A and B are shown apart, each in its own frame.
Chain A
Amino acid sequence: MKEITYREALREALREEMLRDENVFIAGEDVGIYGGAYAVTKGLYEEFGEERVKDTPISEAAIVGLGTGAALIGLRPVIEIMYIDFTTLAMDQIVNQAAKFHYMSGGNVKVPWVLRTQGGAGRSGAAQHSQSLESWFVHIPGLKVIAPSTPYDAKGLLKSAIRDDNPVIFVEHKMLYNKKGPVPEEEYTIPIGKGIIVKEGKDVTLVSYSKEIDEAMKAAYELQKEGIDVEVIDPRTLKPMDFELIFESVKKTSHLVIAEEDHYTLGVGAEISAKVSEEVIEYLDGPIIRVAALDVPIPAARKLEKRVIPDATRIMDGIRRSLE
């Protein structure tokens, strides 16, 4: 298998799907001539032309609305909102419009768009450029939400998202774009809603996703040295979530920790925790621990940013607490 970056993997997925289906097109701020704020769409404008790789005005609500309108009449738009922070400007279009259309029409219409965006901290982007707002979309019926952590998952899931007939929020992470990993030469897709066990273990289940997975893995390897055998699970899709995989793991380990970069209160981990308590609580031998970003806006200064976003050390503390 070749080794490519997360960015290149996403680009391959876009390119392959555009070649495969002429209804697929891209629209967003600076995605064309420039190739995207994080260079994901680089070269696609040259290859597919202005009609299929559209630079838009700074009009987030209109970008999503355009995606919905075009999707309604048969196209497969991949729209880009440059930062997940700016989905706030398109919330009506995402939440009240696109997410509801299929249901409200009694199944008569469909909205097969993918909204690509990126979130997360790590670059001192501060409070308006560093958030992880994915749980908002997980909360909304009618949306699928994907947050891949590796080049392999990014490519396979983006392809599936483009082929999916529903609106899909596809959340990339700004600190993952240069991450390298193996990706097959041949065509493949990854089913939406299927998680994976990244590392097997028997003492505690650690669920994490997107960039936080890397911290989770560091924590797991550190704890291995202390004889704590951590099973790491990446659900990859946040909605629908692969709860079965998590339940099976919890049944085996009897302990659950969730590590996430979004805010602690009502984050993705809150849902996982609630679900596990409802369904398999009898298997648990300790408290479910959520290790998440602290409930403050993401500050600019590096040192403060580090304090707010959970690192491997905090995850290890969380695991020890769950095992106490």
Chain B
Amino acid sequence: MNISNEELLKIYKTMVTIRIFEQTAEQNFLQGEIPGFIHLYIGEEAIGAGIISQLREDDFITSTHRGHGHMIAKGADLKKMMAELYGKETGYCKGKGGSMHIMNFDLGVLGANGVVAGGLPIAVGAGMAIKLKRGDQVVVSFFGDGATGRGAFHEALNWASVYGLPIIFVNENNQYASTAKYERVVPVKSIAERAKAYNMPGISVDGNDLFEVYKVAKEAITRARGGGGPTLIEAKTYRLKGHFVGDPEKYREKSEVEDWWQREPIKRVEKYMMENGILDKEKKKEIYERIKRDVNSAVKFARESSFPKKEDALSDLFVDDFKYDY
């Protein structure tokens, strides 16, 4: 494995951060502290962390309604993240976006998206711009299995391939599109097969295996950065939590979920690290405690922050303030 211990440790910490951030958000949502709806990435952390860790700061991503993990992996500040979930003025979007619409250009996050497959054409636009400006950045576009039912998915892959754009399309196949099981609404065995139709490489990997994800992403990123065009990666995974927090989950068996908990990515990477002397009980405890502290202070920050002022509802509509009369 060409992944240094140091890098592995860093990715591992990102995965644990995402997990703890979301477990905390889940709890606090259920206590009624967070408005709206939130969708958890729990169980899918190896994908976001394993891929985004290999990006440069000036690379871009587009994300989904299930975007907390991507955002954290791209370097988001936990305080501003949590504050946005709480709808506070100190959040990334000053409380206007909420969980589903967090975005931040400085981090290269061109948007979580409340519209399924909404990010794919935007990724193509970013890829096009990079090419026009002769840049060497890449764009990673994340989307779910359900997103592949939309025309936007097909239009984006076609376009990216025609113009050889530096994009890595990452399908997080967590086997459900809200309540619809994969086989009921997708006719191909693997999303990666779709790549054929667009004449781009299509690879399917175990998305719960950090090392596999890391490896195929490395190749795809290298190819994209070198002008070799887009790649479609299917990372097979499983959504361990409901579609949204509060989902009664009547469309699947508990045993299926329990089964997948046995294959969840963090435990797997921990096992590898323990066996190879990269991690021990002591160090693990230290890492968890540290991250819990960080997440708790993010919660404290979010709780103590003010709500936006009523008048703020009218700001940020246009870049120039031309005294629009609402």
Contact = CB atoms under 8 A, between A and B. Distances in A.
Given A34-B178, A58-B147, A125-B37, A300 B98 contact: yes
A59 to B, nearest CB: 4
A89 B155 CA distance: 13
Interface string A113-125: 0000000000111
Contacts of A127: 96-97, 101, 114
B250 interface: yes
Contacts of A175: none
Interface string A54-84: 0111111110000000000000000000000
Find the residue from B96, B184, B251, B317 having the highest chain A CB count within 10 A: B96
Interface stretch (A6-14, A214-222, A234-242, A301-309): A301-309
Contact of A300 (B87, B311, B324): B87
B185 A57 contact: yes
B110 to A, nearest CB: 15
A123 B177 CA distance: 22
A299 B313 contact: yes
A304 B178 contact: no
A104 interface: no
A306 B310 CA distance: 8
B310 A303 contact: yes
Nearest to A265: B326
B98 A126 contact: yes
B179 A128 contact: no
Contacts of A302: 35, 87, 307
A300 B95 contact: yes
Interface in B95-136: 95-101, 113-117
Interface string A263-303: 01000000000000000000000000000001111011111
B149 A126 contact: no
B88 interface: yes
Find the residue from A29, A56, A57, A264 having the highest chain B CB count within 10 A: A57
B277 interface: no
B150 interface: yes
A123 B36 contact: yes
Interface in B202-255: 250-251
Interface residues of A, number: 38
B300 to A, nearest CB: 19
A29 B180 contact: yes
Interface string B43-72: 000000000000000000000000000000
B98 A34 contact: no
B36 A300 contact: yes
B179 A34 contact: yes
A29 B178 contact: yes
Nearest to B100: A126
Interface string B238-276: 000000000000110000000000000000000000000
B326 A264 contact: yes
B177 A304 contact: no
B166 interface: no
A134 interface: no
B114 A128 contact: yes
A129 interface: yes
A163 B17 CA distance: 55
A48 interface: no
B177 A125 contact: no
Interface string A303-323: 111111000000000000000
B312 interface: yes
Interface of B: 35-37, 87-88, 93, 95-101, 113-117, 146-147, 149-152, 177-180, 184-186, 250-251, 307-308, 310-314, 317, 324, 326
5 contacts: A55-B179, A57-B185, A300-B36, A301-B308, A304-B308
